[in-house]
Amino acid sequence: MFRSKVFRIIVASVCLLVSAQGASTPRPVADVPISVAGGKPMKLSQYRGKVLVVALISTTCVHCIASLQMLGKLQKEFAPQGFQALGIAADDNAATGVAGLARLQLGFPLGYLDQTNTMQVFDFKLEDHPFVPIYMFVDRKGTIRFQYSGKEDFFKNEEPNTRLLVQNLLKQK
């Protein structure tokens, strides 16, 4: 049992290191207004001082919805330590889809962006065709440290990898 747990931690760490090598250089977070169903827009800068995981999703993607639920679990667990999860939808019917996802009671904000602002926040071009979900890990200073697209190995062990990065970012001051 103990050996199995240690092995999983080692494998998760190796996967993170391999994936992180392909990630873009750390960059400041783009601070565009993010629309929220039935509320006033939020900005990523309002969460400065917290460790953020921002999930870019499609409201019709089953894996994205499961990812949001997992982030909801981490939100409950790590919020007292300064963690904040955020979801951003960017599909064609994002406004309607976000309103429909309210039933999930995720425990963190879920908003939506248009295509131009999505590309600015997540730093990709139209021709990139990224796969969702996309996770963006932001440190307490507002710097994006890691970003992973749904097609990367990171998502093969999504929860342990996410948990490990969040814990490491929470340790930084």
**With contact defined as beta carbons under 8 Å apart, do 71 and 65 qualify?**
no
Pick from 173, 147, 158: which is nearest to 88 by CA?
147
Q: Where are the domains of the chain?
A: 2-171
Q: Which of 68, 57, 62 is nearest to 113 (CA)?
A: 57
Length of the chain, please? 173
171 token code pair: 């340790």
- What pTM does this model have? 0.85
Q: pLDDT tens, 33-52?
A: 999 987 889 999 999 999 99
Given 3.40.50.300, 3.40.30.10, 3.30.70.580, 3.90.1300.10, which CATH number is that of 2-171?
A: 3.40.30.10
pLDDT, tens only, 52-96: 999 999 999 999 999 999 999 999 999 999 999 999 999 989 999
Cα separation, 52 vs 93, in Å, equals 25
Q: What's the pLDDT at 22?
A: 38
